[in-house]
Structure 1
Amino acid sequence: MVSVCMATYNGNKFISIQLDSILSQINQSDEIIISDDGSTDGTLDTINNFKDERIKVINNVGKKGPVGNFENALKHCSGEIIFLADQDDRWLPGKYQKHINGHEDYDLVISDATVVDENHQIIFSSFFKQRKSKKGLLNNLLTNSYIGCCMSFKRDILNASLPFPHSIHMHDWWIGLIAELKGKVFFLNEPLMLYVRHSVNASGTLVKRLPLKDQLINRFDLIRNLIKFKISNGTKQ
């Protein structure tokens, strides 16, 4: 069984396109777990109009924002393989199956994406190329490649990642680094989704840079929590 976990907040403008692209690929036995952070723009009405039993909506009553909202979705999923999905992107044909194939040998699979604006006009043809993405713990502490919407992972990686440390900047970065420590990671060099960048994205990946002070604080916090994880769990080198 596969779970697709999505966090929503006022995403009514884009959510139909994304759900259509996912539902057309997943199996009838799979599920989409949507955690909503208190949308007021009709997002929930649009989701409910799909009338698809694979979609399960829960309200986020915990920590607000993307990290808490995704954690809420992940805590409610049942799948052995978990995909993360943003409300405003679009899966391209073949994404689901190519990730599933990758999981025959790997614990986390991350595929490339075409970066587009809200009208699906291309900004960058390859997220990997623009980000200089590659695996490696140090590489991804310096420049994070692990954007959740491009990732899927096995339940062992999810179990090791939860609960999220309270102070981490982004959940997907944390999950990717845990997979680097605990499992086998595969970078699939094929764009399998449209990664939509617009003025109200929850994250500013590729379009905004945090002040240097905040960047350093985020990395220090990740390192501190990774050391705690390694001490308490014991992981491969």
Structure 2
Amino acid sequence: MNDSTTPDGQAIRVSVCLAAYKGSRFIEEQIDSILRDLGPDDELVVVDDASPDDTAEIVRGIRDPRIRFVGASVNKGYVRTFEHAVGMSRGEFIMLSDQDDVWIPGRVEIMLDALADHKIVAGNFDVLGGGPRPWIPRLRSSDSGRHLANLFAILIGYRAYYGCAMGIRRDALNYFVPIPSYVNESHDLWLAICGNVARSIRHLDESTVLRRLHDDNQTPAGWRSLVKIIKARLMIARLMFEAVRRVRPGS
């Protein structure tokens, strides 16, 4: 076998990249839902960001040859952990996953269909157990081609993309990685910016994941201070210039 094939010589189709940190409460349920949706020639790459709990032991205890696990010795934060997992991936299509959600059956095939003619795909989520979603509107497939409008909506905070419902083709990874060194949050917005600048992103009307909302979510649940909002908007503007630099020569 080589780096992009399974032990029986088949090309790896899908790589799911999961960043884990203190995920012992929910990670087994998350992984079970992913494995049920994957095929025999897919893989799940789990990078544990030096969790102080038994997250690593739980993942190692799941006996499935499709799981590739790496435990980091130093905590680097979830953005760098996702970057590490993506760097380890071998599949033609890469999908991101949080550690505490539940995938909706059929997610893989829906996203693969979108990635057949788009470099990046972004779906919606429903809340696990029901309950209200954040106030930002759901993505709509009809907005997929409104790239400038999408970029402006990202800049002002009106268009949300969630990494747990996103995927990317391998031939577009050079847009996404390496993730700029100044990015310590919102890797999903960076991926969406790349897709819109490349004019090759597909919004799905469907939800592809049931998102678990709890106190340990990395995505902020409430309003931020004005200073943090301004800093985040400036970072996003900077990312847009970086995406143009990366995408335009090869788009």
Partner of 2:147 in structure 1?
none
Contact 1:36–1:59 at 8 Å: present in 2 too? yes
Match of residue 157 from structure 1: 172
Task: Decide whether the 8 Å contact of 1:182 with 1:236 is kept in 2.
Answer: no
For residues 182-225 of structure 1, what are the alpha-carbon distances to aligned partners after superposition, in whole Å with 9 as ceiling and x for unaligned? 14111111222111110111222xx2222121111122122123
Alignment partner of 1:102 is 2:117: no
Query: What code does the residue aligned with 2:248 have?
Result: G
Decide which moves more: 147-156 or 55-64: 55-64
> Where do 1:34-113 residues align within 5 Å?
34-60=46-72, 64-113=76-125
Q: Which moved more, 1:66-75 or 1:227-236?
A: 227-236
Pairing of 1:1-237 with structure 2 (within 5 A): 1-60=13-72, 64-116=76-128, 121-124=129-132, 130-134=135-139, 135=143, 136-143=150-157, 144-168=159-183, 169-204=185-220, 207-231=221-245, 233-234=247-248
* Number of equivalenced pairs: 228
Structure 1, unpaired ranges of 5+? none
Asked if structure 1 preserves the Cα contact closer than 8 Å seen for 2:127 and 2:212, the reply is yes
* Residue identity matched to 2:156: L
* Secondary structure, aligned partner of 2:80: helix
- Taking structure 1 as the reference length, the TM-score comes to 0.88
In 1, the alpha carbon distance for the partners of 2:77 and 2:151 equals 26
Point out 4+ residue stretches in structure 1 off by more than 6 angstroms.
none
Matched residues, percent identical? 29
Give the TM-score normalised by the residue count of structure 2: 0.84
Cα displacement (A) at 1:229: 3.8
| Cα distance between partner residues in 2 of 1:210 and 1:199 | 15
Moved more, 79-88 or 214-223: 214-223
| Residues 216 and 90 of structure 1: CA distance in aligned 2, closer, same or farther (over 3 Å) | same
Does the CA-based 8 Å contact 2:21-2:49 persist in structure 1? yes
**In structure 2, the residue corresponding to 1:234 is in which secondary structure?**
helix
The answer on whether the counterparts of 2:111 and 2:121 sit within 8 Å (CA) in structure 1 is: yes
Q: CA RMSD in A?
A: 2.0
Classify 1:11/1:137 alpha carbon distance in 2 versus 1 (closer, same or farther; 3 Å).
Answer: same
SS of aligned partner of 1:179: helix
Q: 1:142 to 1:38 in 2, by over 3 A?
A: same
Query: Does the C-alpha gap of structure 1 residues 220 and 113 become closer, same or farther in structure 2, counting only changes over 3 Å?
Result: same
- Cα distance in 2, alignment partners of residues 193 and 75 from structure 1: 23
